[in-house]
Structure formats: structure tokens, C-alpha cells
Amino acid sequence: MDRNAKLPETEGGTILFNTDPIIIKHHYEVDYLHSYAQDSPFFVGLTKGKLMGSHCTGCGRRYATPRGHCMECGEPTEWVEIPGEGRVHTFTTCHFGGEAFLKETPFTLVMVEFDGVDTLFLSRLIGAKPEEVKIGMPIRARFLRNCKFKPTDVYFVPM
Amino acid sequence: MRPVYMVSGGITKFAKALPQTDFRRMVKDAFDYALADLPGLSRDRIDGSVCSYFSDHFTRQLMAGAMVQDYLGLNPKPSRRVEGGGATGGLCFQSAWESVASGRMEVCLAMGFETMGRVNTWKGNEFIALASDTNFDYPVGGFYTGYYAMMVNRHMHEFGTTVEQMAKVAIKNHLNAVYNPYAQRPGRLTVEDVRAALMVAEPLTILDCCQMSDGAAVAILASEEMAQKLGGTPVRVTGVGSGTDAMRMADRPHGEVILLPHENREEYADLKYPGVHSFRGGRVAAQNAYRMAGINDPGQELDFVELHDAYTSSEIQTCEDLGLCRYGEGGSFVDSGAPFMPNLDYGLSFSGSGKWRPLPVNPSGGLLACGHPVGATGLMQAVFAFWQLQGTIEKHLKDATLQLPDPRRGLIHSHAGTGTYITVSIMERV
């Protein structure tokens, strides 16, 4: 046993904001191994300039945003290509956002509706000023050439 | 199931940041208030607890509920955490109700908190946005106000709702809160003030949105036998209901309206429901709670409502889901003056439509003005409703202004996501 055991001192310190009460900076960061799992073919579709949705093999319902099983009847779905042209179902222009998106503001969000598809698709709209965007306005999908494997690889522009 | 009563409640002041107290101490302060308010109730009479807090990211502490339990001196009694986004507090209240209704506990403590001031607002917005689909929604929008702005734009398109009607909700709730010392952002506003405020996501300005908050609240529920034994002025919980909807707003169906007893199919012949303009989870929650409480026409049979107004727009949407007015009439309901406190001067002239009887909505000031420390919010509503029905508003707020003259029955409503989890509970004077 070492009765004179001693921890080594370091040069590191703590960022202190206040002393009453003591408020310190605590950094917190995580890298996830995020799997798109059964949604993966959608992101593969984006690399080919295709919007892939789901078609229920049981009740025939069509989803613009894919899901592996039908929300209405529980049956498995199959992949179908969604038309690249649709309409603005609703929209907004965000002047603020979550921290990760602040640098992108202002940006316009749209929920897109498609003929023959039962649900909507959330995306960004560019090429129109906020006051130019209208519900019902025809819009079409464009795709990034250099994929990031994010849903923002597809975006919409006015037709 | 057996009858359940709320026997006491307590809350802390809600504020942007309360760095002097951590989450354990905040709940302790609310708990001590509730115990002091009912001398017959001591800590050893409490059989267990349910703890509600939304995000571990805000706390930077997993199993924080266990730490609250030990801080309150409730070990080794049973406890658990419930979580369901913005509805966490309402779910906690109903979970405590279940503990008592089932006979598992005689007295159950519902306790909730959130410490959102531990990160900056934009990081907080990011944490909240993680409660949207992280494959398809978060990476595109990343911001709940954006989702609600899209919903209200569609509501305006379908029904002709206006930004002025939304501003009137902000005026109402902020002015009510002037008489509530627990509130975070009381104020006297005009329509111009609301519209000229910082635009967050069009058409929602910063005064259309609730704020991030630190705070805690508790509600103590008991069986009938124990409520009688404890004395005080218990309030009965006569109905509970809850509902859900798809996490992704994009997946909401466009089908038929779910009807309440006082409505009929013909009046909604052309309405695609719920779409992104209405909350069918809220409608189902209301339907279940009304059935249990024996309510057929909520507009006639409720005396006040404390609902989840995270946005002025969602108050208008929710009044429709709850059947206080028909779908599409939420804006006109506001214009009529019906949801305003009859004894306050808001500086507004009302349409004078006699279509709706006066039914104050968010007399406390709601989330817009009281704040929204998520896990505490649904319990805060229970506490304000409890004090209203007890007739003890003056005692607790040190001001009688917000005390309704003779309230017999109130409704509390807690809401998550874009209408993803919703609870409705009915409380009645006995």
C-alpha cells in the first residue's frame, strides 16, 4: 500500500458562468449509429432522383411518406414511386428554428399533396418568396446530385 | 373503478430559468405547498407517486424521477415515470388517477417538473423537435413552431380563421395571467402588439407561442374514503379520456369527423378530417372523458376549461376538438367573447354573438402566459382547476380576480406533439 498516494494535477479547468448558484458549462455530444432500417429504400430512391412511397398490399392505401406496415390495416406495404409533381397542401416560412437549423433560416416548409396518394410529404420549398407561396400551388421535386442521405436531398420548386 | 378525488395541489413560480433550485428542490417546494394546504395529509399517508418529465436532455440526468422520490422522503414506496411529450403532465395525472381508481393506492402523488432553462432556447427547440420523426421530419423542419404554423395556415384556408382572432387569444391569456403570480409572462397586449412581435414561423409571432420554462407542480389524488378522512375541500375527478394520432403530421388521414353527442354528420358533410388542421386524438380524449362524466353538450355543461395553448392557434383548434364550438367556428368563438373572463376589460369589442354561453378558457393564463415546463404543465392545469372548483383562488393567488363565481365543473386538457398524445380530464365540485 502507498500511504502517500496522490492524484496528478492537470492544467484543465471548468468554464464557470456563476457562483451563486454555481453554474458550469457541461458539453454533451453523441455520435449515433442511426439506421434507417426498413425506411432505407426511400433514401436509396433519393440517390436515383425518385420519391419512393408505400402502397398497402391489404387495403390499397398509398403513403407519400413511407412506412413498412399500413397504419390503417396493419398489412405490409410495398414500395411505389410517388409522382414528382404535387401541390402545396400547407406551408410556412420559419425565421427561427432548432439550433442545428438556425443557419438555414429563413426557410419555407411545405406539406406536399399528390394525386392518387392518401398522405402528405414534408419538404422544403425554394424559388418562391414567402408571400408568393399559396395553398394549392403546383410544385415539383428536385434532387441534390451529391446525396447526403437525408430527407432534405429532395426539395420542391414552383412549377 | 372507484371514485377518485383531488385533495391538494401545489406549484412553483414558473420562470424562464430557476438556477437556484434543481428539479428535486422544485418538486419539493410544490409538494410542501400541497402538504401545508391540507393539514390532515402527512407524508406517510401517501402510498406512492408518479413522476412526469419530458426530456432527459433537459435534465442531463437519467432516472431523475427516482431522485425526486428520495428527495421527497418517499422511499421505499412505489414510484414510476410517465412520459408523453407535451402531454406528460396530463398522462401523469391520469396515471395517478388509475392507481387510486384501481384500488392499488389510497393516496397517490402526481409530481412533475421540467428544467428547460438549462440550455439556450434554440437548443431547447432542437430537443423538443426530436419529439418528431427523426428520419423524415426533424431533419427537414427541426422546429415545432414550424409544424404548428403549417397547421394553422391550413386551418385558415379551410375555415377563414384570422391572425387577429389568434392575437385575441394571446391578449386573453396574457391579461388573465396579470392576476396570477405564478405566471411567467403576464401582460397587457393589443392585436397590434401581437402582430408586430418577432415573427417565428409565419403566421405565428413570438407572442403566439409559449416560452421555455423551469417549474414544478404536484397534484395529490385520493380515494373517497381517504378524501373524507383527510378533510379539506376535495374535488372529484369524474372523467378521464385520452387519444393519440400518428407522429408524422403528413400521415394524418382525410376522412370523416368523429362526432360528439351534440353534433351530427350533416354539418360536416364537406370536411376532410382531421387533416392537418384538427386533432382527432383530442376529439377522442374528449369523447371518452365526456362519456365517463355524463356530459352531452360540453359548451353548456362545463364552467371553465384549462387547455394546452402552446400556440394561440392550438387553443382555437382545441376548442373545436373539445366541442366548445363546431369545427371551423374556433375563430368566431374567440370573436364572440365567450372564452374571455367576464370581469376583465381586455380592450377588445366582441361580436356579441349569443351563439355561445360564456365559458372561460384558460382563466389561469394558460401555457402562453404561465409558461410550459413540460412535465409540470398538465399538473399546473389540475392545480388551477382544483383551486377554481374549491373557490380558493384568492387564497392561493393572493387576488380574487380570476375566481369564477360558482364553478361546478371544469376540464383540463394536455397535448403532445402535433396532437400525438392528448388527455382530457373532468373535475367537479362535490
Grid cell digits, residue B85: 411529450
For residue B123, the chain A residues in CB contact (below 8 A) are 98-99
Q: Residues B340-379: pLDDT tens digits?
A: 999 999 999 999 888 999 999 999 999 999 999 999 999 9
Mutation test of the interface with chain A: which of B135, B245, B277, choosing the one with the most A Cβ atoms within 10 A?
B135
Are A101 and B254 in contact (CB < 8 Å)?
no
Contact of A101 with chain B, judged by CB distance below 8 Å, is answered with: yes
Tell me which amino acid residue B85 is: G
Cβ of A90 within 8 Å of Cβ of B135? The answer is no
**How does DSSP classify residue B84?**
B
The CB density around residue A156, as the number of other CB atoms within 10 Å, is 25
Residue type, B227: A
Cβ A90–B248 below 8 Å, yes or no?
no
Q: Quick one: pLDDT at residue B141? A: 86
Distance CA B292, CA A91 (A): 38
Closest residue, chain B, to A150 (C-alpha): B139
The partner residue sitting opposite B126, judged by closest CB among A65, A92, A100, is: A100
Backbone angles phi, psi at B215, to 5 degrees: 165, 170
A106-109: long-range pairs with CB below 8 Å, 24+: A106/A130, A108/A133, A109/B140, A109/B141, A109/B146, A109/B150
pLDDT tens sequence across A29-52: 889 999 999 999 999 999 999 999
- Boundaries of every domain in chain A: 37-158
Q: What is the pLDDT of residue B124?
A: 93
Residue B192: CB atoms within 10 Å? 10
Which residue among B122, B149, B250 places its CB closest to the CB of A119? B250
Q: What is the pLDDT of residues B238-251, one digit of tens each?
A: 999 999 999 999 99
* Inter-residue contact A131 to A86 (CB < 8 Å): no
Smallest Cβ–Cβ distance between A98 and the set B20, B125, B252 belongs to B125
SS3 track for B112-181: EEEEHHHCCHHHHHHHHHCCCCCCCCCCCCCCHHHHHHHHHHHHHHHHCCCHHHHHHHHHHHHHHHHHCC
Contact A95, B200 (CB under 8 A): yes
d(CA A5, CA B392): 63
CB-based contact A72 B150, cutoff 8 Å:
no
Of B428, B393, B382, the closest CA to residue B87 belongs to: B382
Question: Are B250 and A152 inside 8 Å of each other by CB?
Answer: no
State which H helix or E strand residue B425 sits in: strand B421-429
- Which residue of B120, B138, B146 is in closest CB contact with A92? B146
* Cα–Cα nearest to B428, from B375, B377, B390: B390
Beta-carbon separation of B149 and A39 below 8 A: no
How many C-beta neighbours within 10 Å does residue A158 have?
A: 15
The residue of chain B with its CA nearest to that of A130 is: B202
Give the N- to C-terminal CA distance of chain B in Å, as an integer: 18
Q: How far is A97 from chain B (nearest CA, A)?
A: 5
Averaged pLDDT, groups of 10, chain B, 430 residues long: 97 96 98 98 97 95 97 98 98 98 98 96 92 95 94 98 98 98 98 98 98 97 98 98 97 96 94 97 98 98 98 98 98 98 97 93 98 98 98 98 98 98 98
Interface test with chain B among A30, A96, A121, A154, by most B beta carbons within 10 Å: A96
Q: What is the ipTM of this complex?
A: 0.96
